[in-house]
Each structure stands twice: as C-alpha cells, then as structure tokens.
Structure 1
Amino acid sequence: MGSRICVFLRRAGWTMWLAVLMLGPAQFANAASPDPSLVAKINAATFEVVIPRADNDPLSYEKPLPLDLLPYQERTDKYFSVGTAFAIGHNHYVTAGHVLLAAVGDLTGAPALRDANGHVYAIDKVEKFSLQQDFVMFSLKEQPQGNAALATDTKAALNSVVYAVGNALGTGVVIRDGLYTSDTPEDENGRWKWMRFSAAASPGNSGGPLLDQNGKVIGVVLMKSPNENLNYALPIGVVLGAPDNMAVMDKRITYQLDVMEDTQTSTFKAQFPLPVSYADFSAAYMKLLYAQGDEQLKKLLQQQGNDLFPHGAGSNHILHDTPELSLFPELIVRNRSGQWSYTGRELNRVPLSGNGYVASGYVGHNFLIHLRRPDDMKVATFYNDPKQMMDLILKTGYWTREVGPEKIKITSLGNPASSTTYTDNWLRHWKVFVWSLPYINGQMEVFALPVPDGLAIMMRMNSSMGTHDSLADMKALTDFFNVDYGGTLAQWKEFLADSSLLPEVLRDAHIGFDYGKHFSYDAGNISFDYPSTLQPIAPDNMLFMGVGYYQDHGKFALQPGVIQVRLNSTDPDRISAKRHIAPSPDLDDNFKEAWGKLLHKQHPYDGVPYNDGDEMDVASVIDPPASDAPAELYTAFYGTQGTHKPEAMKAKLKLLTQQFKLKTH
C-alpha cells in the first residue's frame, strides 16, 4: 500500500513525522495546467491548512538562536503549514483526514486555513470525518471573498488526463499532469477503491484536489507509492456519499510493547455525532483513540500473561541466576527463542562536575540513562527539582535545535508541564515528568527511579498527541525495568534517610556502618556484620545491592540477591554475600553443575584460598538448616589484591562468616 505524503522534521536530534502538505502563496509553475480561465478559480478555492507557531519558547540554549539563518518566509511566518484544503461548495471545505489529525493535540493552537493573500480563516465546525477513508469536511467561521468553490465529478474516466494540485516541496503551488490509470481496493477488505494516478505527488500535495481536465475535483490526493510514481487519491464520490454529521472510525490498529515481538491487532471502531467545533472534535477523537490504545495494551498483557516475565519457563535463566550488579538500567526483553534476558548497555558516558556523570543507551523506543548525582549537589535539590535534573542530562550536548545549518545546544527545558508519581508492581516509586517542546509540537516523558547514587531513567520523545500512549507504555515497561542499587556509603546514608525514595526491597533493610569501626547488614533472609579489621570502613566504600526476582509466599517479589562492599570505586578489594537458587529441571547443565559445587562445597566454595590473576580470593557456603534438598544456599566471599598467606585469608573469611546468620528458608 502507499504511504502518507509527509515531510520529515529533524529538530534537537529527534525525528518527528508530521503529515504536512505545505501550500504557500499561489504562484503556478510552468507545468501543464487546466484552461487558463480555470486557474484563478482553482487558486481562489485552494488553501493552506496552518497551525500557529509557538509565541513563547520555554527552552534555553547555549546562545541566542541565529534565526537570521532561516529563509525569510520561515522566520517571519507566524504559522506552520500542515496541509492543503479546498472548497467544494458554499462553506464546505475538504482536506485529508491525516492533515487535520496532525493538528490534534497541538500545543500552540487550532488549525486554520490561509489563502494566497495570507488571510487566515478559523475553522467553525467539523461536519464529516472518516479515519479509514482519510478525509474530513468542515466549515469556516468567516467566508473568503468571492466564495469560490470547485465543481466535482464522481464519474471520472480511466486513462483520462488529471492534474494534482499542491505546494510540492514547499516551492509554491504547482499543477502537474498525468493520467488516471487504475482503481485498487483498500487493503483491509476492499470496502472502496483508491484512484491511482501518474501525476507527480510530492510532500506538499496531500490533501489537495485531484482535478480532471476540466478543472473538476475527482479525488483527494492522499498517498504515494514508495517505489514508483503511481499515487493514491480518494474518489470525491466517497466524500460526498459518506454519512452526514458523523465522525467514523473503523480501522485496523496494531500495538506492540518494546519487550516482546508479539503484537495486539484490533479494529478501532467508534463514531460520534457532528457537527462540532474543532476543539470538541479533537477532544472526542483523542478520548476514543486513547481508550482504544489502553484496551489494546490491556489485552496484550492479558493474552501474554502466563508467559510474561517472571512467569513461564522463559524466565528461568534470570530467576535462577545471580543479579548482575548493573547500575546501568536495562529492560528485560523476550528474544525469538522465548527466553527473557537483560537488554541494554551503556553506550556513552559524559562526565559532570563533582564526580557526576550521565551514562546513556537505548532499548526500543526508550532512552535509558544512569544519572550519577554530582557530589556538590544537595540531595534534596537533586531528587526534588526536575528542572535541575534535566539540566544535568542536557549537559551531554546530545539534544540540539537545528536552525538553518547550525545545531544549537539546548541547555534547559525549564519546568515540566506535569509532575506525578507512579508505583510499579515491584513497589518501586517513580517520579514522572512531562516537558513540552512547542517548537516541534513535541513532548518529552521521563520516568526517574531514585537509586543511592542518583537516578535510573527511562525517557521518550514524541508528538504531543502521542504522550498519553507513551506514558501508558512506559508504566507497563517499569515492570520489565531492571537496575541494581549502588553507591558510596556516604550516598547510601543520605538515600536511606529519605523514606519517600525507598523501594519496598529496602523498606525493612537495616544497613549500618560506623566509619573506622564496623559494618552491618540485615535484610531479607540474612544478616552479617564485620569489623574494620576485615576491611577499612570509610565514606567512599562502595556498597552494591543486586536485586533479583524471587518467589515469596506464592508471589514474585524483588529481593536482595547479592550484597557487595568494595574498598572504593577503583580498588578490587571486596566482600560479598550471594544468594543461590536450586535450578529448575529445564535449565542447562551449567546451572546444575554450579549448584552441585555449592551443595558439596567444592572449589571455589571450599574455604580454600586461591589465586585469581593478581588477587587472592576465598569463599565458602554458609551451612543451611538440616535439609536433604535445600531450595537455596548462601555464600560468603572475600577478595583482596596481591598474594597473601592462606592462614591470613582464612582468618578474614572467618571474620565475615562467624556473624553470618540465616533467618528463614
């Protein structure tokens, strides 16, 4: 099938699809055209569909925008063209449905028509609309002078000469000739036939009239073929014969969530009465569309329920493996073989002052970011001031605004348009922000999860009309969002002091430390403590908690799986305690072999020190309560640089294990 004739807009590093069909001042090019006596009438009956440009820009930039680099018309025009419309009777105007929908949800104002002299006419009532046939008919509050209208012909002859009228490529209105070559059924079930024609159609034509050789409208130009110059128009008879005073939606829509390849396909079938104002039309359409998207997401999750992570056999690799201790966020994604796995990695890192940094990557439609809080920024400011948070992310310089040949760095988005919270099914508490970007009619959605050293972030950018669906998607994706908890002891102290930041997995955790004296940990099924003679205890010690997904009274819960304390961020000296789960029968031999070593306290869990490169390590299994077949085991580990006497290493391990307690199993 064809694709909507549209223009790419690249701004600030983002690509946005806009169904724009630009019609500038009417200056007909030297192309084949209808009889000259009809040209003036066609000109008077053809209009741009325009949207107001933003009056105020909430963004800040590295320097004043060099707007003088833009073409004169672009920098002085108060409107942005999004399509073409034409008159077919007294106060009856037609354009492509997708042209009007490009304005739905716009941040800067309602669409209007503009004539060749620059006069703008406000839309009064939307009278007919069909999503599937892609047309809309409407009236204006003020009538253009002359009240020109194009005649229609519902019986155009195949292989006859036709003219496609439109502002091709934004260079002024042109009329280009070709032939009406054929009819082709619409894709879903052949409810009507598209007209195919060979007249050239470029970005700027869609929504314009397709004329016969007498200047009568025979169709509405809508789409072009991707690989050949045979383009599509909706027969004008379909528009005229459609139900009066009705907006009709009857179109197949497919939904997909980024963590799986499965899709949910359903028919968006609804209607509501017309005529109504554009504002009421926009509100009614979005309400129905959003309800459709919400229902598709709900059905997809219900349909996949038994196989979604952490349910189903495809989850077992993650459920039985130890957490990765990854401070960079990941999504848990199902691959083609049906296995769920961690997906996402750090691709870029930009340093900030005070040891802060912004690490970034992406999965699907989502930017993933680890924002490490600068040491010189107060905790209250960092976690409670979204403007400052986003200003730090923008220091990466990735987000720019194109002005002519230059890319100007965006330094601030200002305050968000909305600020809310969301608690996912793992009982983690997210901060949710939406920023408006009026100059591209876009919005940025951010889900920020507090962690000890900063924030784990999932972020998207899209058109303003897509914000509702994006937020719904991102809420669903939080249940597949994986990140471990880590930071210096000084960072942990400040993090644990604010209960509003803590996920459920940390609510009952008791992590205590007295610099220079001792460290203690008590959470989940284990507790242990050790003195500073085992490892010096200082504010820059690094504490990591790797969280896993465990069965708890018949339900899955996020619980500690690995606890590790490092001497600092660069020294490999470390102490750790790990939780190990008995493998399920479907897992491969590697899992079963590793479990066998644990059960029988074989190397490296035999308490015998060993060399591992330039360090020495020693580990042992904590004796479980008497059981023929324990479901889980815990190990204690100590590692340090250099070569040491075995007796000294064993003594270190004893300091760790003698206070190690298993509370329940």
Structure 2
Amino acid sequence: MDFLHRASLALLFALLVLTAAGRAQAASLDTSLVSKVDAATFEVVIPRAVDDPLTYEKPLPLELLPYQERTDKYFSIGTAFAIGNNRYVTAGHVLLLAVGDLTGPPSLRDASGHVYAIDKIEKFSLQQDFAVFSLKDQPSNAALAIDTKPVLNSVVYAVGNALGTGVVIRDGLYTSNTPEEENGRWEWMRFSAAASPGNSGGPLLDQDGKAIGVVLMKSANENLNYALPINEVLKAPDNLAVMDKQESYQLDVLDYDQNGSFKAQFPLPASYADFSATFLKLQNSFNEQQLKALLQQQSDQLFPHGPGANRILHDDPQLSFFPSLIARNRSGQWQYAGRELNRVPLSGNGYVASGYVGHNFLMHLRRPDDMKADTFYNDPKQMMDLLLQTGYWYRQVGPEKIKITSLGKPTTDATYTDAWQRQWKVFVWPQPYINSEIILFALPVPDGYAIMMRMNPSMITHDSMIDMKALTDFFNVDYGGSLAQWKEFLAENSLLPQVLKNTRMDFDYGKRLSYDSDQVSFNYPSSLQTIAPDNMLAVGFGYFSDSGKITLQTNYIQIRLNITDPDRISIRRHVAPSQDLDDNFKEAWGKLLHKQHPYDGIAYNDGDEMDIATVIDPRAKSTPTELYTAFYATQSAHKPQEMKVKLSQLTQQFKIKSP
C-alpha cells in the first residue's frame, strides 16, 4: 500500500538518527520572527524501548554512540507546529508511523526537551496527509499566523526536524502548484527550499513567518518538494477522520496489482489510542478485501490453473528440499521461483540454507543431530536461536555490528493450515529497538523446518500475516531426513501434512523397510540395501487431479544409503501429458509406455555408477494415465544379472492401489 510504503521508509530514516538540542536558522529570515517560529514548532517523538527482549553476543558498546543518542529517551520521527487554540498540525503519515508502535504513542518535544502528550486527534485526512490534534498540557500560547493566499515565486522557508538533528529553517522559492495525482481534488504547493527525512509535518512559511503549507514529501525525480496548502487543513471538516485514497495491493507470486479506493470515515475527537486502533482496523479490513478481490479476480488463472501450470503438474518429479514459491513470471507463466543462495553450517550436521523471493526470506533449517525432536518442534525460541547462529541478524552500534543471539520467546505462537492441508507454525518476535517485528511461517519437515520469513515495521505486521498465509498455497518443498528423523517426525501426528496422514513407514533396521500409502505399497529386504538409522529417505510431492480437484500427493520416494553415499532406490510417479504440452513430454511418456531404455530392466553404466530401472505394470490394461518406475543405483561392481535381482527385490512386493 502506498502510505504504508512511505511510512515504512520514513520510519527507517527516522530511526537511523536522533534529535539534537541545537536549532539553526536561515540568515534571510527576519530575526524578530525566529523566536516565534521556534516556540511554535516541535519535534514529533516516540519513546525508546525500555525493556529489550533480545540477547547479544556481548554487552552493547553504547559508549560508541554520540552522547545525545545514547542518552535520549526518544526517537524523533517528524515535525509539528501550532496554529492556535491548542491546535497542532503534522503530516498524517508521521502520526501513522506510531500506529502499532511497540514502545508508546507519539508526543511533541520543544526546544528545551520538554515532552507533551497528545490529547485528542481532531482532524485527519489520509489522502491529503495531515492531522490536527490537541495536547493534554499546553506548552505556551505560541502559534504561527496563517496566510491562505501565498504568492507564487515568493521566498518561502521550510521548517522542520531535518534528518532528526533538530529543527532547522531553510529558504527557497514557492515555485508552482500541481494537481494531486488521483483526480486533481486540490493542488500541491511545490517549493525549492531543502527538506529532508524528518521535515514531514513541519510548516512552510512565507517571508513574514506565516504558515502557508504543511511540508509532506520530496519530488521523486527533481529538486523540488511538496507541501499541502494550509487552507486545505483549515477547510477540512472538523471532528472527522477521512480516508479516500487509491491504494494498490500486490502479492509476490502474481504479476498483477489490485487497485482500489480506501474509503472510510469515523468520528473525532478521539484519543491517539482509539484513533490508531480504529484506523488500523479499517485499514486492515480494506487490505483483506483487496487481497480477497485480487485472488477472486485471478481465480481462473491461479495455480494450479493458468499458463505454465500444466508443465508443473506433468513434469518429471524432481526432489527439492530448499523451499520455493510457484510464481508467475513476466511472460505470465507459472514457474518455480527461489533457490538456495547461501548455507551456514551448524553443529551436529545441522545447517541453515537461505534465499529469497520478493519480500520473503526462504530458508531450510536442518536441526542438529543432537537436538531432540520434541524440543525442537515445540520450542520456537530454540529454533530461532539456531537461525540467529547464521550471523545475519545484528544490531548496529556506532561502527560495530553486534550479533543478536536470541530474540527470546515469540509474542505470537499459532498454527495455520494451508490449502494443501499442511500444518504451519506461525511466530512473531518483536524488535522494539527498531520498532519492527519478525514474522515467521515454519513448516515442519522430517529434518527440521522449511521457513518463510519477513521483517517489517510493526504497523504492517497484519498485512504481512495475510500475505504470507496466501503465499503458503504457492509454497513448494519436499520432505527429507534420515530414517531416525522420519521415525520421530511420523510419531508427531500434529506435524504431518494430510498427504502423509495415511502413510505408514516401518524401518526394521538390518532387516526390512516397508512403505504403505493410499497410492502404492512396497517393501524390500536389507540384502537390497542396508537398512540403518542414517539411511536418507526423501518424499517428493506433486499436484494431482482427484475427483476433479487438484490435491497434493506423493510422486517421488528415494532412499539413499546415507547422506554422502550415492547408492539409492527410487520410486517415481509419472502422469500422461496433456495435449497442450510439447513433444519432449510426449516423447518421455512414450518411453515409459513402451518400457524403452532406460526403463527396460537392463543394467547400464552412468558415469561411475551402475543403474537399472523398469516400469511397474499398471493395474489397468487399457491406456494408463499414470505410471510408476522403480530404479536402483550403486557404485559397487555388479554383474547385469545381479542388478536384475536387486531390481526384482524392489518390485516383487510393489502394489499400485490407485487409480
């Protein structure tokens, strides 16, 4: 959303710097006016976090920070000014920066450092980006005079808390007017006086020190800045909050934006707490409607439908333990997006693999062998502590980057079931020192978690939450782990996706392995492949039609001798290609139908290993729509007949149950 994007950027700028007590003045402003401007202009501040739930690798070296920064109890986020009768004006987005704030509501601070609490919000306009409010205690009767008819090309002064370094006055020219972007309901004032992050909400003055506008934003592509004419503030309806603004909603896996008009009103005056709660409720509701409209508008083209979907549904199964998102590319085709970009080892064969798609970090966390499964899956603090061992998270203190070693316990610990009936764990951790939150969706897999994560300002946590819930339906990952890990995983029924609920796996170490699902069953003795706790079992999933509905089902089973040995057994499920697919799909299917090489049951060399594969005879003798292949590979030297015996041991107990 536009205002959220702007608010997020403004917040990040504001949190990088702190206020200083000194104030500068433009030499060209009459000195007799400076004290009046100074008394009527304030910083907008929010409290710093008092309690820090985070743990660091060492005590924070706060002595490296400038004195003002390490002693100030507040962050400066913008500017406000008095217009008389206990009425103050600031930019709407400055007040919205504190919506959902983790440390406290916004206040005003004067030049002497005194802080004044906001009493009531009296006017608010999202589209014109201003707010009028009162204070619980009046600092003085100082107020800026008003000029509602400023003259073009006259000298003006931008007054504000530039870059959080105290209120400054900078001169320039009032150069032009330009219509607001949606439908020209009013005109922005454009001026050349310098404005910086933190100036938002400050007054634009004429040469007599009268307020002619509210400084709001910089031009994106030229050295001009924007202000709202003060007359627009004065003539806006009293005792009313008005939202009437075009906003765009976008989901990371789609190449389409949902545009809508956020229109709502609610009565004022209201305390800041009530104002922010009501605004956030309305904004969240609108965003939910936007997401729903986006998905409905695209419903007939959403995966597993739309261009490119058939390639994914019919492609030969491949195993992928690093998560990806099924996303639509620029040409409108569905494809897998996301790949492993980095891997950090942990103790006990654990690791954290990471990458990203859009706004989302994607990770695969393999739990260390010495960490018990019940502790790992039921202790989010310990899980996050493992992620933090990557060193990606740190707190900048002066020139030093101090690693964060623990976020403590999450403030949200919930579950979510996606459209494929997979059971997600949902956690939220606050980071009060930067007013942000980490939202983490963790999908339990046998060897750990497949993870989707975001970090954002706390005010948009709800938006990230609904986005990520929607994205789980496009989240693709296969399940892998050692037989020992699978045993522990299968024992925790609450962790299992629906696709594995009716699957039975029995590992009789040194003797026999058996697999039984709704689709197939098979078993084989240890003479085919040694059966031990460190065997690596992978189960891959695909998307299959079941009574006219696409469901997630198993399409690949692979058992390796161990994590380093390439000797392996594989069972694959193949689907007859649809007519719209290219000849490569049809040629591959033809080889399966006619049991042509490499599916002819004849051993062959592939580099330094020996392989053998066959097609399992389908239940139906008519033209099948699905086929299963069995495959065995070893680096050991075997005669062709010995390989046939190995393949027979795998297939002789193989049963196809459906379709």
Q: Structure 1 length as normaliser, TM-score?
A: 0.96
- 1:276 counterpart SS class: coil
Q: Deviations over 1:108-127 (max 9, x none)?
A: 00100011111111000000
In structure 1, what is the Cα distance between the partners aligned to 2:113 and 2:487? Answer: 63
| Letter paired with 1:185 | P
Aligned partners of 2:431 and 2:438 also within 8 Å = yes
Mapping 1:96-245, distance limit 5 Å: 96-145=91-140, 147-245=141-239
Residue number in structure 2 paired with 1:530: 524
Q: Deviations over 1:589-647 (max 9, x none)?
A: 11000000001110011111111000111111111134332110111111111442111
Residue number in structure 2 paired with 1:588: 582
Residue number in structure 1 paired with 2:472: 478
| Letter paired with 2:79 | T
Mapping 1:54-453, distance limit 5 Å: 54-145=49-140, 147-453=141-447
| Letter paired with 1:458 | M
Match of 2:449 among 442, 455, 469: 455
Q: What's the CA shift for 1:227?
A: 3.2
Change (3 A) 1:19 1:397: closer
| Letter paired with 1:134 | D
Change (3 A) 1:283 1:517: same
The percentage of counterpart residues that share the same residue type is 73
Q: Deviations over 1:193-246 (max 9, x none)?
A: 001111111223221111111110000111111332211110000000001111
- 2:308 counterpart SS class: helix
Q: Structure 2 length as normaliser, TM-score?
A: 0.97
Change (3 A) 1:620 1:600: same
Residue number in structure 2 paired with 1:48: 43
Change (3 A) 1:116 1:241: same
Q: What's the CA shift for 1:339?
A: 2.0
Q: What's the CA shift for 1:22?
A: 7.0
Change (3 A) 1:506 1:561: same
Q: What's the CA shift for 1:167?
A: 2.6
Change (3 A) 1:181 1:174: same
When structure 1 is superposed on structure 2, of 220-229 and 416-425 the one drifting more is 220-229
Change (3 A) 1:67 1:238: same
Q: Deviations over 1:391-450 (max 9, x none)?
A: 000000110000011100000000001100001111111110000100000000011111
When structure 1 is superposed on structure 2, of 464-473 and 522-531 the one drifting more is 522-531
| Letter paired with 2:62 | L
Residue number in structure 1 paired with 2:24: 28
Q: What's the CA shift for 1:7?
A: 9.7
Aligned partners of 1:544 and 1:565 also within 8 Å = yes
Aligned partners of 2:77 and 2:164 also within 8 Å = no
Aligned partners of 1:21 and 1:84 also within 8 Å = no
Aligned partners of 1:22 and 1:167 also within 8 Å = no
Aligned partners of 2:7 and 2:94 also within 8 Å = no
Aligned partners of 1:3 and 1:225 also within 8 Å = no
| Letter paired with 1:488 | S
Unaligned runs of 5+ in 2: none
| Letter paired with 1:375 | D
Pairs aligned (count): 658
| Letter paired with 1:184 | T
Aligned partners of 1:186 and 1:193 also within 8 Å = yes
In structure 1, what is the Cα distance between the partners aligned to 2:341 and 2:17? Answer: 37
Q: What's the CA shift for 1:27?
A: 2.1
In structure 1, what is the Cα distance between the partners aligned to 2:515 and 2:270? Answer: 64
Change (3 A) 1:183 1:4: farther
In structure 2, what is the Cα distance between the partners aligned to 1:271 and 1:118? Answer: 35
Residue number in structure 2 paired with 1:521: 515
| Letter paired with 1:158 | L
Unaligned runs of 5+ in 1: 10-14
In structure 2, what is the Cα distance between the partners aligned to 1:365 and 1:62? Answer: 28
Q: What's the CA shift for 1:4?
A: 9.8
In structure 1, what is the Cα distance between the partners aligned to 2:537 and 2:16? Answer: 53
Mapping 1:617-632, distance limit 5 Å: 617-632=611-626
- 1:207 counterpart SS class: coil
Change (3 A) 1:519 1:3: closer
In structure 2, what is the Cα distance between the partners aligned to 1:623 and 1:283? Answer: 63
Change (3 A) 1:2 1:253: closer
Change (3 A) 1:5 1:530: closer
In structure 1, what is the Cα distance between the partners aligned to 2:245 and 2:22? Answer: 35
Q: What's the CA shift for 1:324?
A: 2.0
Q: Deviations over 1:637-660 (max 9, x none)?
A: 111114421111111111111111
